[in-house]
Structure 1
Amino acid sequence: MLFNTFYKMHRIKGLALLGAILLFASCKQKESQAFDPWKQMTQIVDSITLPTFRADTLNILDFGAVADGVFDNTDVFRKVMDTCSKAGGGTVLVPKGRFLTGPIHLENNVNLHLEEGSEIMFSKNLDDYYPLVHTSYEGTELMNFSPLIYAYKKKNIAVTGKGVLNGRAGNDFWWPWCGKDSYGWQEGAPKQHSSLKKLKEEMSEVDVPVNQRIFGKGEFLRPTFIEPFSCENVLIQGVKIINAPFWVIHPIKSVNVTVDGVVVESHGPNNDGCDPEYSKNVLIKNAVFNTGDDCIAIKSGRNEDGRRVGIKSENIVVQNCKMIDGHGGVVIGSEVSAGVRNVFVENCTMDSPNLERAIRIKTNSKRGGVIENVYVRNLKVGQVREAVLKINLFYGIYGIQKGDFIPEVRNIHLENVQVKNGGKYGILAKGYAQLPITDITLKDVLIEKVDAAYSLENVTNLNFINTRINGKIMQTKSNSLEH
């Protein structure tokens, strides 16, 4: 009798525990099934605040601007920007014509609008890029030449219209500083490498305050083109941007940034099309990128400077863009020390014999960083040279870079991707044995004309769902791979 009672009691407890376990598992399964990253993307896009402006319009001609491509309109732009902002904001209109100027600094609540047929030409006089401003070079903060269009701690700002922004960089100005003869550098001429070494080894690595990292004339670090720094509610729309000194559109430490319908045509060194850095809620859509470097490159600081700042780039959405020439279509890295997460790419086309990769992640153990939650869908690729998806965690453009910060890459999804000519590899991925790349999924992907389906090292959970490479149905690989 006593035994039967004891047995029944423990059987009831066991069934209750089993029921709780099953209920928990069911809830977790439903939670997993319920999560839709594309709904998350929609929520991010809906949350991005566009700037709004008063109806007032100020024409730069009314402030003494001259459209002959020779007269220096720097003071005109400064005066009209200040006047417009102090009056509560509105539109600064650049009418048809060619206007020469030094850097333009945007002010709160002002839309710089370029009428169709207008062109802003930027100065080739280094003195015009003074006073030096708080900016960044390849993921390291410093005081340097002003970006060509700059805003610092501003809200509700825009650059819009159908005009042209011409940085006038070329083999005679700005570009030779990269140190390559293909961009006009000649033996014995100055170049950026000595300045970069000074910035890194003598300043960033020993934590010199940013306001004491003084560069400018006598150093050789080129300015970015459009840089909203620590700004909120930014719109860059419609304009064509050519001949950039360095990175083209560089939102840094900014929130709610929309880049819409721009055309970037600039084949200079480091001419990345758009580089969100330490930024959140960034929408890049309807744009054309034809560049000398990555079309879009998402950043979050380099090495110790990125870890010092410690702001992830997150909630980055790329929609309906066209990538032509470039080192990569959508790239994360290489300066990603603070990490990148929640990147969404959809409905884009990529096609050029000069486009090297479609989707690329690059960093190393000196830079580190956690890169996670990258979702790509509805991508049409005509031709890329090296790989459709490349993940290189041993990136070393300045030589071998090793440190104690092993990067983490996880949760990369490609869906409904069609590639006509994939180059050398469908997937080229190399991770670390102690911290492998994990959870790559290709669903409904069709890749044609690649030399090899994949080359993998230290990758776990590579999932193929209805995916064909070179006509062969691909099988899921759950274990660490070496090839």
Structure 2
Amino acid sequence: MRFLILSFVYLFHSLVVNAQPKAFNIVNFGAKPGLEALNTKAIQNAINVAGKSGGRIVVPPGQFVTGPIELKSGVELYLEAGAELLGSTNRMDYGPAAARALISANGQHHVTINGKGTINGRGREVVKSLLQLLHNGTLQDETWMTKRPSEYNRPRLIAFNNCEEIKVKNVKIKNSAGWVQDFAGCNKVTIDSVTVESTEYWNNDGIDIVNSKNVNISNCNIDAADDGICLKSEGRPGTCENIYIANCTIRSSASGFKIGTGSYGGFRNIKVRNITVYNTYRSAIALEAVDGGFIDGVDIDGVTAKYTGNAIFIRLGHRNKGTQYSSVKNIRIANLKADIPNAKPDAGYPIEGPLPKSAPHNLLPAAIAGIPGHDIENVVLENIEITYGGGASKAIAHIAVDALDTVTENEAGYPEFSMFGELPAWGLYVHHAKGISLKNVKLNYKNPDFRPAVIFDDVHTINLEGLEIEKAAHNNIIILKKTDQVSIKNIKLPIDQKEAIKTLP
């Protein structure tokens, strides 16, 4: 019996040892710490060797500079505590044409980035090098003299294309010159407990999921100069499907969680649970289809938005030039609490959201906005509480109740909460929609706002149940224009309901 027990222990130990991935320390392949050595070849050689049978590429404590490296199937890039993988600051190291990503994988499977170390793209320094190359004519760029160097010329930090069974876990990722993480055409992606700190330059989306399926993003902390977590459908026909996002904290100089702007394909079965968005310039939640694609089946539950420019923005537009129109339907947003200040929420961050191009506008409401003949369909807002800073002034802008038709449609405009300029409501504006339900929605402001609280314009089948509006400076708190099939139950308004609700033809 003792022999059998010892044999079992030995066998179990052997299985555990053999189950550990074979380690390939980059130092053993010639990598050298410090800011002077460029270790691209050494690290890529280690990856190529590990790729033959699988294994772990170990980056030990210290700073290691590299240019673009390409991961292979079965390879884990593991950064030990105290390890920092630094991107080269020489733009030419990323290629003479389109900038290659610092870390990429193409058509690979079972690839992992893991560990307690840091990936630092040094994006500000890369752009400085790029600008010098543009000035002396070594590189070309169509936009750099009028706006900034294009994304074509600025390397992303992580870019996986057409890959399967991908994991990014635990690492800190910072200071990209472009998108921080880009997963395009991928299947089975897990991003867990990742920290993003990337506010060094523009277009620094924290996580971009493009035409990918079966994606799980959880426990991440993101501070980005552009959208925090963004789903896109662009670059090729495709859809984002079966996406689950949970327990993430996001700060952004654009939007917190966003679907769009790129929306040529579609988005289906998207679930978001328990996220916090703070100090964010645009919307906490932005759902936008404007390029002929669709949004169908979005379930968001549990959002805390602190000091954001807008709580909810849902948009169906027509930016594409063809005859195909987008569709947006079957959306549920529940258990959201938002604080919308009468101030610029991202003021003081290295890269701030842009100031309005047009005249200053009053604080903007949550909005659900389709276009004539193309309604947003079946939206439920449930257990929502939004508090606005208020303080609107007619001297800044004023759209009277009898002038609602003057609100611009801006069908082809870039979708964002400020795209209409001034809006005539302070709490919620719904335009060109059907099947809209507000269940236990509470709207409030800190300082008086002269506008109506809620406006429905060209909206059909409306259910208002448990709507609560604490304060009102306008006698008509709710405006119903060109509406039908309206159900109102158990609402709480500061003045008599008959006076507070105005119906217009």
TM-score by length of 2: 0.69
Structure 1 position 164, deviation (Å): 1.1
SS across alignment from 1:412: strand
Instruction: Report the equivalent of 2:103.
Output: 149
SS at 1:275 equivalent: strand
Partner-residue secondary structure (3-state), 2:233: coil
C-alpha distance after superposition, 1:171-220 (max 9, x if no partner)? x533797x9xxxxx99x99874459xxxxxxxxxxxxxxxxxxxxx9995
Match of 1:235 in 2: 167
Distance 1:376 1:246, change over 3 A: same
How many pairs align? Answer: 382
Aligned match of 1:113: 78
Structure 2 SS opposite 1:174: helix
State how 1:132-281 maps to structure 2 within 5 Å.
144-170=98-124, 172-174=125-127, 192-193=141-142, 221-267=153-199, 268-281=201-214
Shift of 1:476: 12
Match of 2:56 among 86, 91, 116: 91
CA 426–62 in structure 1, closer or farther in 2 if over 3 Å, else same: same
Q: Distance in 2 between matches of 1:450 and 1:429?
A: 20
- Corresponding position of 2:468: 473
Tell me which of 317, 328, 336 is aligned to 2:263.
336
After superposition, the Cα gap between the structure-2 partners of 1:219 and 1:375, relative to the gap in structure 1 and judged at 3 Å, is closer
**After the TM superposition, which residues 379-418 of structure 1 pair with which residues of structure 2 at under 5 Å, given as runs?**
379-385=303-309, 387-394=310-317, 402-418=321-337
Please name the residue that 2:89 is paired with: 124
Alpha carbons of structure 1 residues 345 and 218: separation in structure 2 relative to 1, 3 Å: closer
Q: Does 1:323 align with 2:250?
A: yes
SS in 2 for 1:466: strand
CA–CA distance in 2 between the matches of 1:224 and 1:344? Answer: 26
CA contact (8 A) 2:245 2:271 kept: yes
Match of 1:198 in 2: none
Task: Give per-residue Cα distances to partners, 1:97-140, cap 9 Å, x unaligned.
Answer: 000111111011011001111111111233322387xxxxxxxx
Deviations 1:384-425 (A, max 9, x none): 11x2111233487xxxx6542321111111111112336634
Aligned to 2:184, what secondary structure does the other structure show?
A: coil
Which one-letter code corresponds to 1:240 in the other structure? K
How far did residue 315 of structure 1 move? 1.0
Note the C-alpha offset of 1:326.
2.9
Q: Distance in 2 between matches of 1:276 and 1:175?
A: 28
Q: Deviations over 1:212-246 (max 9, x none)?
A: xxxxx999532321111110000011111111011
| CA deviation profile, 1:308-340 (whole Å, cap 9, x unmatched) | x32111111110000123311110111110111
For residues 369 and 346 of structure 1, the distance between their equivalents in structure 2, rounded to whole angstroms, comes to 24
Q: Which runs of 5+ in 1 are unaligned?
A: 1-51, 133-143, 180-184, 196-216
Aligned-partner Cα distance in 2 for 1:363–1:480: 26
Structure 2 residues not aligned, in runs of 5+: 1-17, 343-362, 391-425, 446-466, 470-477, 487-502
Does structure 1 conserve the Cα–Cα contact (< 8 Å) formed by 2:272 and 2:300? yes
2:283 corresponding residue in structure 1: 357
Q: Which runs of 4+ in 1 moved over 6 A?
A: 188-191, 474-478, 480-483
Confirm or deny: 8 A CA contact 2:117 2:171 kept in the other structure: yes
Distance 1:242 1:53, change over 3 A: farther
Cα gap change, 1:234/1:111 in structure 2, threshold over 3 Å: closer, same or farther?
A: same
For the 8 Å contact 1:436–1:458, the answer to whether it is kept is yes
Per-residue deviation, residues 21-51 of structure 1 (Å, max 9, x unmatched)? xxxxxxxxxxxxxxxxxxxxxxxxxxxxxxx
Q: CA deviation at 1:456?
A: 2.3
C-alpha distance in 1 between matches for 2:282 and 2:196: 18
Offset from partner CA, 1:407-451 (integer Å, 9 cap, x none): 111111111111233663452222112111111111111111264
Q: Is the 8 A contact 1:251 1:277 kept in 2?
A: yes
* 8 Å contact kept, 1:70–1:99: no
1:72: how far off? 1.0
Whether contact under 8 Å (2:298, 2:331) holds in the other structure is yes
The one of 428, 453, 470 equivalent to 1:454 is 428
Q: For the residues of structure 2 that align with 1:402 and 1:175, how far apart are their CA atoms? A: 36
Amino acid in the other structure paired with 1:376: I
Please give the alpha-carbon distance, in whole angstroms, between the structure 2 residues aligned to 1:445 and 1:220: 40
The Cα offsets for residues 342-365 of structure 1, whole Å up to 9 and x where unpaired, read as 11111111111x43211102343x
Contact 1:175 1:269 in 2 (8 A): no
Instruction: Indicate if the aligned counterparts of 1:166 and 1:244 stay in contact, CA closer than 8 A.
Output: yes
| CA gap 1:480/1:282 in 2 versus in 1, 3 angstroms | farther
8 A Cα contact 2:275 2:303, kept in partner: yes
CA 1:148–1:459: 2 relative to 1, 3 Å: same
After TM superposition, the score normalised by the length of structure 1 is 0.72
Q: Compared with structure 1, are the counterparts of its residues 55 and 459 closer, same or farther at alpha carbon in structure 2 (3 Å cutoff)? A: same
CA contact (8 A) 1:391 1:430 kept: yes
Does residue 291 of the first structure (1) align with residue 190 of the second (2)? no
CA distance in 1, matches of 2:432, 2:245: 29
- Which whole-Å CA distance do the structure 2 matches of 1:95 and 1:222 have between them? 28
CA distance in 2, matches of 1:159, 1:280: 19
Change (3 A) 1:425 1:127: closer
Structure 1 residues 222-272: Cα deviation after superposition (integer angstroms, max 9, x where no partner): 232111111000001111111101111111000000111111111221100
C-alpha separation between the residues in 2 aligned to 1:327 and 1:461? Answer: 29
In the alignment, which residue of structure 1 is the partner of 2:350? none
Amino-acid identity (%) = 29
One-letter identity of the residue aligned with 2:65: L
